[in-house]
Structure 1
Amino acid sequence: MELPQVVERFIETQQIYDSKAFTECFTETAIVHDEGKTHTGREEIHQWIEHAMEAYKSQLKPLQYEESGSKGMLTAKVSGTFPGSPIVLKFHLGLKDGLIDSLNVTE
């Protein structure tokens, strides 16, 4: 499966729990929607992912990737220390200038 470089970095940094490098995959003004909450800007995204990495120890296994224009959708099997693990989630990505400008995580 061929992935854009930023999506590859998004997955890799999640796998090694590098919250700083993960956050650098996003634009300064990116917006993330996950678990019913919205996180705006790199600082909030960093706090969100740092907590999630520590609490859930999740791992992503990419299953499918589709892209249309500036939108991408990564479908991945996610496993970790959370109830219901493993689960297949969809990562709806807005891409801008080689970075992620928006992310909405859904089932």
Structure 2
Amino acid sequence: LDGNRETISGFGTIVITLAKQCKKSQFGKTQEDEALVRQWIEYAVCYGNYVDLAHTARQVLKELNAVLTTRSYFVGNSQTLADIVMYYVLHGVM
């Protein structure tokens, strides 16, 4: 990356690294927001590979529906990397 030929691997690590290289922050406004964004990315990494299984998809969608009942975004009051990643992981099962 950045010409130093550093190799990174793993979905979460790659997404976070690319987002940090963007000019507009996708991590929210505070350090707490950033921690929550990273938490949701880890959630996506843990459950994303299994959402094609019907029982897993139902459980994940039920959990996320409960979280989003009282808010429009996963973190804060505007779109963050957490929203983008969760959409990417779930768009095929919704």
TM-score, normalised via structure 2 length: 0.31
Structure in which a larger fraction of residues adopt strand: 1
Structure in which a larger fraction of residues adopt helix: 2
TM-score, normalised via structure 1 length: 0.28
* Highest RCO, 1 vs 2 (Cα 8 Å, sep ≥ 6): 2
Tell which structure's C-alpha radius of gyration is larger: 2
